[in-house]
Structure formats: structure tokens, C-alpha cells
Amino acid sequence: MQGGKKTGESMKEKASNIGASAKAGMEKTKATVQEKAEKMTTRDPLEKELATQKKEAKVDQAELDKQAARQHNAAASEYNSAAKQGATGLHGHPTGFHHGTGGTYS
């Protein structure tokens, strides 16, 4: 059953990574469209260059955000996997469970 749990965590991480990639792609597209709009509304070469620089900065930031999200997703997956493994002891019993105490639990 452990393989199924790891597969579930892996699927969650992949889904989160796909979401981060989609968001980054959307941000890059928005930056490109904004650049084109700014270039079309001006004749000044300096303003056109500024529009290109702003686009490149936004594209770079979107890529950095995507990489940070991937690292966060990997760390969260690792943490969740470790937490689940540490929550059970021998034979899958919770770590506070004791056999044969014969008395009340305090």
C-alpha cells in the first residue's frame, strides 16, 4: 500500500507543477502581448526598447516563480511522505498503540 501512497503524492506534486507551469506560461504570454501593445502605441525607439526590457523582466520573473513553486511542491511532497511514514510504527500501527497492556490508558 505504500506504493499507492507515494504514487498519490507524486500525482499531487505533478498536478501542482502543471499548474505552476500553466501560470508561468500565462504570465509570459501576457507580458508579450503587453509589449506588442506598447510598441504599437509609440514611435519612440527608447520606449520600444523599454517595453522589450519590461517584457523580458516579467518573463524572467515568471520563470523564477515557476521554479520556486516546483521546489516548494517537491519539499511539500517530501515532507508529507516523511510525515506519513513517521506516523506509523511496526506493522502499520500508529506509534502510540500498545498491545497487551491489560489496563487502562492514561
pTM of the model: 0.68
The 10s digit of each residue's pLDDT in 17-35 is 999 999 999 999 999 999 9
Higher per-residue confidence, 80 vs 62: 62
The span from the CA of 78 to the CA of 50, in Å, is 42
The span from the CA of 103 to the CA of 36, in Å, is 77
Whether residue 13 is contained in a domain is answered as yes
Domain count for the chain, please give it. Answer: 1
Among residues 80, 77, 34, the alpha carbon closest in space to that of 58 is found at 34
Whether residue 101 is contained in a domain is answered as no
Whether residue 80 is contained in a domain is answered as yes
The span from the CA of 92 to the CA of 25, in Å, is 43
Residue 53, domain extent: 2-85
The span from the CA of 57 to the CA of 63, in Å, is 10
